[in-house]
């Protein structure tokens, strides 16, 4: 891995100084695209997931580990601080969805989805907030889902709504709790986002679920996160990037 070392600071980075972002779930899908998008926009990025590969790219570090474990969060935060000296942004993208009728869920489903969607968020966010408080500035973006606000009988996903809905609620709660300390907390709620790792045929009929009539792209999520990064007067916002689903179409 490669990085330029910076001393820790107590203030926002000077103009021209790169911001430092931690991206969870950075080995594939939305997380990988967000990590790449932030890096190409001039951010120093620390990406983490259970399967992420080592990086030799300048200002792109990777830390492999299970984010449901507190020690992984500590290693990620320590790596960011050792390499860059500050943490400006956290993207909580690690997540999973289990779609089945509610009465078909078993205890293992609940344990697995809670560990990834909520426990991972808890450890990582608790890890970065003290440093953001010391800096007097920071931004946390949680990735939830439009299903929370726009459930469909065609794709029942009660446990996804239960856990990702928890992220939406805690986004608003932390936005108020941390606002006076210069920390903003927002969320992005995607609709159905096309992942090139999967066969396009598996998305049959899903484009029509969006009033705009197409599948979302990972670039749509990147653009939304970059907007929230720039929008310094926005906190506690749930930004729906779902082709109009949340509007009721």
pLDDT level of residue 220 (50, 70, 90 thresholds): very high
CA angle 220, 30, 34 (to 5 degrees): 75
Instruction: Locate 81 and state its tokens.
Output: 């601080």
DSSP bridge pairs for 190 = 241
Residue 42's region, left for phi above 0, alpha for psi from -120 to 50, else beta, is: left
The CATH code of the domain that includes 42 is 3.40.50.720
Is residue 7 in a domain?
Answer: no
pLDDT level of residue 9 (50, 70, 90 thresholds): very low
pLDDT level of residue 152 (50, 70, 90 thresholds): confident
Is residue 1 in a domain?
Answer: no
**pLDDT given for residue 14 in this prediction:** 52
Is residue 62 in a domain?
Answer: yes
What is the rounded CA–CA span in Å between residue 249 and residue 246? 7
> Structural domain tally of the chain?
1
Instruction: Locate 91 and state its tokens.
Output: 């993207």
Task: Give pTM, 2 decimals.
Answer: 0.90
pLDDT level of residue 7 (50, 70, 90 thresholds): very low
Is residue 98 in a domain?
Answer: yes
Is residue 4 in a domain?
Answer: no
What is the rounded CA–CA span in Å between residue 158 and residue 117? 13
- Average pLDDT of the chain, as a whole number: 90
**Residue 151 belongs to what domain range?**
20-247
Is residue 6 in a domain?
Answer: no
Is residue 173 in a domain?
Answer: yes
pLDDT in tens, 19-57: 999 999 999 889 999 999 999 999 999 999 999 999 999
Hey, CA dihedral for 114, 118, 121, 123, is it positive or negative? negative
Is residue 10 in a domain?
Answer: no
């Amino acid at each position: 891995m490669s990085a330029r070392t910076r001393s820790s600071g107590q203030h926002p980075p000077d103009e021209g100084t790169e911001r430092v972002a931690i991206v969870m779930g950075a080995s594939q899908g939305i997380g990988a695209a967000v990590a790449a998008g932030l890096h190409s926009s001039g951010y120093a990025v620390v990406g983490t997931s259970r399967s992420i590969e080592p990086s030799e790219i300048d200002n792109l570090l990777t830390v492999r580990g299970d984010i449901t474990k507190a020690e992984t969060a500590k290693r990620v935060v320590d790596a960011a601080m050792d390499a860059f000296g500050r943490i400006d942004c956290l993207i909580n993208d690690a997540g999973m969805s289990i779609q089945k009728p509610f009465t078909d869920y078993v205890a293992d489903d609940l344990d697995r989805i809670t560990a990834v969607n909520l426990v991972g968020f808890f450890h990582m966010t608790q890890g970065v907030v003290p440093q953001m408080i010391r800096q007097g500035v920071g931004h946390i973006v949680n990735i939830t889902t439009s299903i929370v606000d726009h459930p469909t009988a065609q794709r029942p996903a009660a446990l996804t709504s239960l856990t990702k809905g928890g992220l939406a609620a805690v986004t608003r709660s932390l936005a108020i709790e941390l606002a006076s300390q210069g920390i903003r907390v927002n969320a992005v709620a995607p609709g159905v986002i096309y992942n090139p790792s999967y066969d396009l045929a598996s998305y049959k009929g899903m484009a029509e679920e969006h009033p705009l009539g197409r599948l979302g792209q990972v670039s749509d999520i990147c653009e939304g996160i970059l907007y929230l990064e720039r929008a310094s007067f926005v906190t506690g916002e749930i930004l729906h990037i779902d082709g109009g689903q949340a509007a009721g179409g």
